Structure 1
């Protein structure tokens, strides 16, 4: 696995004028793997947009290293960085305390009378969005730890994580009704409970709409 990052050249509107919807970012990612396109064998690429110290970055996790020139298409010159992720993944152990960041699409399924398939709706409220992650943590190989001052966990605010941004980016330019996706970014502390499962979580992502910048979790050991 490879983890790559490029600073998006937000000050050059002529260069980045196409980046007005999630579909454009998806296309940028796909075009950064020309060998996959030639072989007609597309791999899943997890990615997200990060804001850091006034700068905007594209973060990308992929099975193979991307083409540096293609990844730099909308980036600041010389800002592309790619490194192997395998050593880090293999070094994760049970019980390890980590700081995490996750951008995801929290949704829930509502059964429809007379239909076999439920309808998918986004979670709107902050507590619902936090609860979405809390409910999935155990199966994903980690636990969200409580705040130091919280002896018991009575609600979502007793846990050491929070939502740092929420928005509704447009999915594609030509969507007739302007379809948008709920995008929520979480930051906080977690403890690894099952290292094997947790590694797969980092590699496979969390939740839906992974092709459109959702699901990528990154962690830093504490």
Structure 2
């Protein structure tokens, strides 16, 4: 497994085209692997290619990729990078082995995390109608999606709770006396977006099915409960819409470890 980072040159027209829709960016990411054909579908339990865009500012957009094989991002450098500055020592992106981090995960470890996901639920608007997959639109409901106990068990972690002295309100409640996950947990929704684009078999065609994907970017702190399950989440993705930049969970060391609650 490998993890890669590519900085997008937002001043280039090729970059603006790639950033305009998840579909051309997905195609560009998948073209980084000569051994993968467009028709290939990963086995359900196999590691897959995951990607995520992190926009730190208007001019700083980072593309992160986790993949079973080492990617060749030369075409992205040519379209949306700084090709004149590339050389063998610095080709325009960074790739490093991911396995060392995966191997060191242990129960009880704490990590900072970032995840862009497609939080959805199945609802029935009227009695007798089939259930319909619908996106969560508010930060509170999006947090509730990630904090779902069964989901966290499947993913092999739990989101850490804030110490009582860091909560703004008693017991993490709002003035309506309802639990508020943003006050109780080490969890924030940094960005919510609604992406609408045309899904077509032909990348150059404007004809196709209209697709809308609501994404939420979560940041917070987690504790590992089941290392094998978390490894699966890190290499297979979390939730739906993984072809459109959702599902990539990444970890970073905790900058200032907090004392653990009993």
Assess same fold via TM > 0.5.
yes
Q: CA deviation at 1:182?
A: 0.3
Q: Distance in 2 between matches of 1:113 and 1:23?
A: 36
| TM-score (normalizing by structure 2) | 0.76
Aligned equivalent of 2:156: 141
Aligned counterpart, 2:52:
48
Q: Residue 236 of structure 2 is aligned with which of 204, 210, 221? A: 204
- Normalised by the length of structure 1, the TM-score is 0.89
Q: Is the 8 A contact 1:22 1:170 kept in 2?
A: no
What is the CA-CA distance between 1:138 and the residue it aligns to? 2.3
Which structure 2 residues correspond to residues 97-176 of structure 1 after superposition, within 5 A? Answer: 97-111=110-124, 114=128, 118-135=131-148, 136-148=151-163, 149=165, 150=167, 152=171, 154-157=179-182, 158-172=184-198, 174=206
1:5 Cα deviation from its structure 2 partner:
1.0
Query: Is 1:76 equivalent to 2:82 in the alignment?
Result: yes
Which is further off, 67-76 or 190-199?
A: 67-76
1:55-93 deviation per Cα after TM superposition (whole angstroms, max 9, x unaligned): 101111111111231342422344311111011100111
| Mapping for residues 29-48 of structure 1, pairs under 5 Å | 29-37=29-37, 41-43=40-42, 44-48=48-52
- The answer for the alignment partner of 2:45 in structure 1 is none
The aligned counterpart of 1:192 is: 224
The verdict on how the C-alpha distance between 1:42 and 1:33 changes in structure 2, with shifts beyond 3 A counting, is farther
Cα shift readout 1:10-32 (whole Å, capped 9, x = no counterpart): 0112x224221110111111111
Long gaps (5+) in structure 2: 43-47, 87-91, 173-178, 200-205, 255-262
Number of corresponding residues: 219
SS at match of 1:181: strand
Q: Where do 5+ consecutive residues of structure 1 fail to align?
A: none
Higher Cα Rg, which structure: 2
Q: Please, what is the CA RMSD of the aligned residues?
A: 2.2
1:71 to 1:61, Cα distance in 2 relative to 1, 3 A: farther
206-215 vs 118-127, greater mean Cα deviation: 118-127
